[in-house]
Amino acid sequence: MKQIAIIGRERNLALAELETVFGAVEPILDDVVAIKDENSTSIDRLGSVIKIGKIVATTQDMFKLESLITAELERQVLEDKKTSIDFGVSIYADKYNPKDYRRLVINIKKLLQKSKIKSRFVLPKSLQLNAAQVKHNKLLRKGSEIMVIISDRTITIAKTEQIQNIDSYSLRDFGRPNRNMQVGMFPPKLAQIMLNLAQAEESATIYDPFCGSGVVLQEAMLMGRVVWGSDIAEKMVRASVENIHWLQNEYRIDGEFKVFEADATKLDTTPDKKYSIVTEGYLGKMYSQTVTSDEIATQKSELSKIYLGFLDKIISLEQTPESVVITIPCWQTKSGLEALNIIDQIEKLGYTIKQFKSVRTLDLIYKREKQVVGRQILVLRPKNSIKKGK
Ligand SMILES: C[S@@+](CC[C@H](N)C(=O)[O-])C[C@H]1O[C@@H](n2cnc3c(N)ncnc32)[C@H](O)[C@@H]1O
C-alpha cells in the first residue's frame, strides 16, 4: 500500500467508495485507510476523502518518530533548495497522550535547528490539523504536513499531498441559485460517492430520474459526464436547468445535458447509449422527531410503490442501465433504525445487489445523528444487462 486516505464521518460509504475506485483498501483506524493508488486519483473526485498522503516511512519503534519525521522534512528542504520550512504534524491514533504532542514538535524543531534549518510549526486544536489549517498555512505548497498513523501493529508516516477543497464544496452546496431548503439536503459529497459507486464507463451518460434541484447532475458534469435528468415537478426541472447554467459559468465548463419533466414510474425515454442511473429518490415526509413504526407504515407502503414501480419500469425498457445507484429512505424509530425493506422485491424484479469486501451492503447508510430520515444506498445491476454482456 503506497498511500493513506483520511476519511470523513461516513466510514462505511468511504470504504465502499474507495474499494470501488482503487480495488483494494486496508482499513487502519476508524478514519484512516491504506490505498494502492497507482493512478494518483484527484481528491476532488472522491466524496469521502479529507486528505491523501504518500507513505514515506513505517516503524514499530515510537522512539524513532522524531528522527524519521525530521529526515523527511530535511529531505524536502534540500529538494526545494531552501533553508527553512513551515510544518505541521497530525497524529491519528486510538491512544496517544496529548501531552506528548508538544514535546514531539519541539524536538523536531530542535533537530532541524541542528541541521541549520529554521522552522515554524503550526499547532492543531487537538492532535490533527484540519483541511482549512493546512490550506491557510500553505503547508502543501510551501511547507509540509506530516501525518502519523499509530495502529496496534505499526506506525506509518505519510506526507500529505492532497486535501479536500472545502471552498469548492461550500460553493457547490450553498452558492447555487436554487437550493432545496428542506432539512436533510442532499450533499455534493454523497452525490460524488454514489457516482463512483456506479462504476459507469467513461463514455456512459449519467441519468437522474428524480433530479430535484440537480445535485447529482452537477457533480456528474464536474466529472466530465454527459447528464440526463428528469423530475415529476416542472418547477424542479427549471431549478436544475438554472443550477446547471450557474455551474457552467462558475466552473467554466460546458458539456451536454438534457433535463425534462417525467414521472419516473412511467418513463419511456432513456439515453439511447450506455448509461447509469444515479439518484436520490423521493424520501417522503421529512420528520423532525423520532417516529413510531406505526407512524411510518403508510409512508413505507407509498414509497415502496414509487421505488419498485420505478425499478420495474426501468428494467423492462429496451435500453436498460448498466447500473443503478439509488438512495432509499430509512427512519430513526424509537426501537432503532427501520429500513424500507424492499431488497427481496428488488431482487425479484431482476436486479443483483452489489456486495463489497470491506463493508456489508446493507450498512451503506447516510444519516446525520439528529436526522430522523436517513438514506440507505443501494448499488444495483440489472441481471439482463449482465447476460447481454453490456
Ligand atoms: C429528494 S428530491 C431529489 C433531490 C435531488 N437529489 C437534489 O439534489 O436536488 C426528490 C425529487 O423527486 C421528485 N419526485 C417525486 N416523485 C417522483 C416521481 N414519481 N417521478 C419523478 N420524480 C419524482 C420530487 O419532485 C423531488 O424533486
Name the residue ranges covered by the structural domains of the chain.
3-164, 167-387
Q: How far is CA 209 from the centre of its chain?
A: 21
Q: How buried is 331 (Cβ within 10 angstroms: 0-12 exposed, 13-18 middle, 19+ buried)?
A: buried
Q: What is the pTM of this model?
A: 0.94
Read off the pLDDT band of 67 (50, 70, 90). very high
Note the pLDDT of residue 1. 58
- Pocket test of ligand 1: the residue of 176, 195, 232, 278 to mutate, having most ligand atoms within 8 Å of its CB, is 232
Give the angle subtended at the CA of 180 by the CAs of 175 and 186, to the nearest 5°: 90
Q: Does 3.40.50.150 match the CATH number of domain 167-387?
A: yes
Which residue has the CA at smallest separation from atom 25 of ligand 1?
233
What separation in Å is there between the alpha carbon of 283 and the centre of ligand 1?
8
User: How far, in Å, is the centroid of ligand 1 from the Cα of 104?
Assistant: 52
| Confidence band of 387 (pLDDT split at 50, 70, 90) | very low
pLDDT reading at 386 higher than 60: no
> Residue whose CA is closest, atom 6 of ligand 1?
280
Q: What is the pLDDT of residue 370?
A: 85
CA of 212 to the centre of ligand 1 (A): 5
Q: What is the pLDDT of residues 86-107, one digit of tens each?
A: 999 999 999 999 999 999 999 9
**pLDDT computed for residue 53 by the predictor:** 95
Ligand 1: lining residues by beta carbon, under 6 Å: 180, 186, 209-210, 212-216, 231-233, 236, 263-265, 280, 282-283, 306
344 CA from centroid of ligand 1 (Å): 24
Q: Which of 37-46, 209-218, 297-306 has the lowest mean pLDDT?
A: 37-46
Which of 210, 260, 375 to mutate to test ligand 1, by most ligand atoms within 8 A of the CB atom?
Answer: 210
The overall average pLDDT reported for the chain is: 93
pLDDT at 39 over 70: no
Q: Looking at 232-284, which runs of residues are DSSP E strands? A: 257-261, 275-280
Which residue among 186, 215, 228, 231 is best mutated to probe the pocket of ligand 1, counting the most ligand atoms within 8 A of its Cβ?
A: 231
Question: Residue 183's pLDDT is what?
Answer: 47
CA of 237 to the centre of ligand 1 (A): 10
Closest ligand 1 atom to residue 264 Cα is 20
Count of Cβ atoms closer than 10 Å to residue 340 Cβ: 23
Residue nearest to atom 17 of ligand 1 (CA): 232
* Rounded Cα gap, residues 121 and 25, in angstroms: 32
Residue 348's pLDDT band (boundaries 50, 70, 90)?
A: very high
Q: Which distant-in-sequence residues (6+ apart) come within 8 Å of 354 by Cβ?
A: 197, 361, 379, 380, 381
Burial class (CB in 10 A: 0-12, 13-18, 19+), 252: exposed
Give the span between the Cα atoms of 376 and 329, in whole angstroms. Answer: 6
- For residue 191 the three cell numbers come to 452525490
What is the CATH code for 3-164? 3.30.2130
Report the C-alpha gap between 188 and 359 in whole angstroms.
22
Band the pLDDT of 286: cuts 50, 70, 90. confident
**Dist CA 156 CA 174 (whole Å):** 37
Q: Ligand 1 centroid to 320 CA: how many Å? A: 20
Query: Quick one: the chain helix, strand, coil %, rounded to 5?
Result: 35, 25, 35
Dist. CA 245 → ligand 1 center (Å): 20
Ligand 1 centroid to Cα of residue 15, in Å, is 27
**What is the best residue among 211, 283, 304, 327 to mutate for testing ligand 1's pocket, by most ligand atoms within 8 Å of CB?**
211
